[in-house]
Chains A and B, each alone.
Chain A
Amino acid sequence: MITVESLNKTYGKKDNIFQALKDISFVIPDRQTTAIIGKSGSGKSTLMHIMSGLDHPTSGTVTVNGTNLFTMKSKEMDKFRANEMSFIFQAFFVEANQTCYENVMLPLEIARVPISKRRKMVMTALKAVELESKAQNFAATLSGGQKQRLAIARAIVNKPSIVFADEPTGNLDSTTGEKVIKLLFGLNHVLGCTIVLVTHDHDLAARCQQQISLKDGEIISMHTTPVAHHTNRKVGA
């Protein structure tokens, strides 16, 4: 469970003060898919960065599974992130000159997973995104959709409890994007990880169980759909 309480984030000082987040509070239950919706500049990326511990709030707390992120030492924070969180980005951020296998292994290296256990974990993750046949291919040879699937494999390989997905379909055409989203929601169902999806796409957001809409750093609406999964619904339907 992620609990966000009275989160404020301001940039600059005195006359140049800019409030990126204003008094944000919400709760995300375990295994839930949550969309943070907003236009660019709404503060949704800042919120995601703070929720993942990459950025510090000016005030307020984020508690993940009972642990306050901002009372942890940076060493503990890194360890926590390595074991509990992962990311999927709009621009994929897969290393083109490394093989698929090496790309997926990165989180395991960072989390210091023993070498003997890695192979099985990497192959399981690649299989989950149907890229096991490309294990030894360089990421540069993959299509955009394949790259994002590779990024998903990398995000789930260490079985994190939370996956942050920042505009995961932003660089993909709608058909490919749909495949990636289906895969992501399918994994949420199978692996039982919490997914926090940051997007400006309302249709995509509507397929999550919870929608948090941001505008100018404030929550303008919060909506929870009790339906368990929406994996079969089509984008724009």
Chain B
Amino acid sequence: MLLIDIVRRALRSLLNAKTRTILTAFAIAVGAFALTLTLGASNGAKLYVNKIISDNFDPTSLIVASGRSVFDRTDTSTPQEYDDRYGSVTTQLGTTTQVKRLNDADIERIKGVEGVANVREATSVGLKYITRPGLRKYVATLQSYNPAQRPDILAGTIADPLKAKTIILPEAFLSSLGFSSAQDAIGKQVTLAVQKQLSQAALQSSVASALSGQPGGGAATQAPAAELKEESYTIAAVSKKPSSIQSATALYLYANADDTKALNDYTTEGTSNYHTYSFAYAQVADGANQTNMDATQKRLEKLGYGVQSIIQTQQFLTQLVTVLQGIVTAFGLIAVVASVFGIVNTMYISVLQRTREIGLMKALGMRRKDVGRLFRFEAALIGFLGGALGAAAAVGLGTALNPWIAAQLSLGGQNLLVFQADQIVLLVLALMAVATIAGLMPARKASRLNPIEALRTE
């Protein structure tokens, strides 16, 4: 038989048993549905992670900290040795810990490492408030802007480097600061206020004077008034609300490195945090080349620094996604395995029902090989039908629900499910292959039927 005859006969035989065919195909469709969604979610997650990375990090930069503990979860079960170079902080969980910070000497040392092109300290300033004349005051965090970041901008432009005394304002502040729209805010002035932190010495003297009970003992012994400084900044751009995974950064204001540093120095002068940084970005020369990245990371780690590359961050972010994906994939595969038995069963019934037809075809000189092919094609068509049905349902449902899911998870304009035609075609082909394998035994039975037995009149 010609291939077209075999395909046509296989198709007709499936059409003659519509209910059976569709029910069998449904089993495969469940698997195809789950696997298509998994593939879509995996694509979406990858794009999403890459977008977050490219929005927030320069892929050619390494994040350098004084030790690994900055990146890893701090060990809270064993006592941490006190180091008087660093201040102590109390975490959200109520644990007191010391975060070891980088100082200027560290920055110089990192700059000297082979492969490091330049180093940028990550500076973060806790603002006392941000406000505009006649409006309420709001607390905020000011970060130094890294030109490698590419935040989504609603209005305005970001010069490289960011101009002095300009800021990028997050969307969330617009209405609070009395702007009618993102466009309205561009070029307007805001007031940023910072407060000097009390130095250790100032704290001690104020406590001492309070205890001695001698009020009005002169200006020097009076509880030091918190020194406040207000500065005026121009809004250069308004950044879009980030997706939920970065919600911590939703209220970050960005100013250029020099301005941020100046404000930070002002607030930390006389404290242990003066001229120290939780981490720094080391840009690697020719960092597009992964071997340069790896080599530089090794050299920095040898000096005792904790180093994280974007690849590692990416891996960390994708890890959870991968686990969830694995679970869904497993369910999909279980459905496919279950459907294999359905196909075997259906094909055996088909062979039994068509015993006489097979006998006739063999008597008329149809070759064993062709009889086998006929049934294998039939199985493959069931696989195709199931695969196509499941994939189509998944794409349809996914496309319909994408806007809702994206809104629920606030993915920042990114779709959770991203379907790729080539992957779906491959999936359907793979399911056809699985179905064909399931059809092997029944097809063999058909090809081995003895025509004399098959044609014996009942």
Contacts and interface: CB of A to CB of B under 8 A. Distances in A.
B12 A110 contact: no
A9 B361 CA distance: 25
Contacts of B365: 77-83, 85, 107, 110-111
Interface in A62-100: 74-75, 77-83, 85-87, 89-91, 93, 95, 97-98
Interface stretch (A49-57, A126-134, A173-181, A229-237): A49-57
B455 A93 contact: yes
A190 interface: no
Nearest to A109: B5
B2 A97 contact: no
B307 to A, nearest CB: 69
A65 B376 CA distance: 36
A39 interface: no
Nearest to A110: B366
A112 interface: yes
B364 interface: yes
Nearest to B4: A115
A109 B2 contact: yes
B69 to A, nearest CB: 75
Nearest to A167: B457
Contacts of A78: 365-368
Contacts of B366: 78, 82, 110
Interface in B353-385: 356-357, 360-361, 363-368, 370
B245 to A, nearest CB: 58
Most buried by A among B12, B361, B365: B365
B364 A110 contact: yes
Contacts of B455: 89, 93
Interface in A7-48: none
A106 interface: yes
A55 B457 CA distance: 17
Given A54-B451, A112-B2, A115-B2, A81 B364 contact: yes
Contact of A90 (B12, B452, B457): B457
Interface in B321-350: none
Given A89-B457, A91-B457, A112-B1, A55 B364 contact: no
B91 interface: no
B200 interface: no
Contacts of A91: 457-458
B74 to A, nearest CB: 74
A106 B9 CA distance: 10
Nearest to A98: B12
- Overall SS of chain B's interface: helix
A83 B365 CA distance: 8
Interface string B170-185: 0000000000000000
A213 B367 CA distance: 33
A107 B364 contact: yes
Nearest to A52: B363
Contacts of A106: 360-361, 364
Q: For chain A, give the interface size range.
A: 20 to 34
B408 interface: no
Interface string A153-178: 00000000000000000000000000
A93 B2 contact: no
A97 B451 contact: no
Interface in B1-26: 1-2, 4-5, 9, 12, 16
Contacts of A109: 1-2, 5, 9
Given A95-B357, A97-B16, A109-B5, A49 B452 contact: yes
Contacts of B452: 49, 54-55
Nearest to B1: A109
Contacts of A107: 364-365
Contacts of A77: 365
B445 to A, nearest CB: 18
B341 to A, nearest CB: 27
Given A110-B1, A115-B4, A87 B361 contact: no
Most buried by B among A52, A93, A95, A109: A109
Nearest to B366: A110
Interface in A102-152: 102, 106-107, 109-112, 115
Contact of A87 (B1, B12, B16, B364): B364
Nearest to A77: B365
B140 to A, nearest CB: 76
A119 B420 CA distance: 43
Contacts of A89: 455, 457
Given A49-B452, A89-B457, A109-B5, A75 B364 contact: no
Nearest to A107: B364
Contacts of B361: 106, 110
A7 to B, nearest CB: 16
B258 to A, nearest CB: 80
Given A74-B368, A91-B457, A81 B363 contact: yes
B364 A93 contact: no
A48 B308 CA distance: 84
Interface of B: 1-2, 4-5, 9, 12, 16, 356-357, 360-361, 363-368, 370, 451-452, 455, 457-458
14 contacts: A55-B452, A74-B368, A78-B365, A78-B368, A81-B364, A87-B360, A89-B457, A91-B458, A93-B356, A106-B361, A107-B364, A110-B361, A110-B365, A112-B2
